[in-house]
Amino acid sequence: MTTFATVVRATEAVELRTQLIAEVRETSGTSEHPSFRMVPAKRLAQGQVVYYTLRITNPTPVFANNVQVNQMIPANTTYVAGSASGPGTEIEFSIDGGQTFAPATDLKLPDGAKAPPERYTHIRWRLRNPLAPGATALARFRATFN
């Protein structure tokens, strides 16, 4: 497991656990019958896509309400447009180091132009529902290794 800056907040003083898992898609078999599997990202080549899964776990005996998770896009990678997902979440992005967040459609550069994905520095997932005791929520995104 590789750790990158992750910030988790909830309404209550609940300590949630996060784990960021980085994987790459490995291809085997023949060109006519390829097979794919996900393997840990240990060595990366320039231009390779990394599949990130963020596990958000509530190890406490109480519900965690209004959970939001801010994840820094790892260094030397560029966010792949449209790849952030998370069931039951609202997703926002930052282009200023995580100071402010907005939906991708609303992110603007200082000159008023739409911010391209290569400018994204952080992703925020807001869970629409409370995270139950013992439950784990998954958030995902892809990034290209530079």
Q: What is the pLDDT of residues 53-72, one digit of tens each?
A: 999 999 999 999 999 999 99
- Phi and psi angles of residue 114, each rounded to the nearest 5 degrees, phi first: -65, 135
The amino acid present at 146, given as its one-letter code, is N
User: Would you kindly state where each structural domain of the chain is located, as residue ranges?
Assistant: 6-145
Tell me the pLDDT tens digit for each residue of 98-141.
999 999 999 999 999 999 999 999 999 999 999 999 999 999 99
DSSP secondary structure code for residue 117 in this structure: G
What is the token pair recorded at 20?
């960021």
Q: How far apart are CA 84 and CA 28, in angstroms?
A: 27
| pTM score of the predicted model | 0.86
CATH topology of domain 6-145: Immunoglobulin-like (2.60.40)
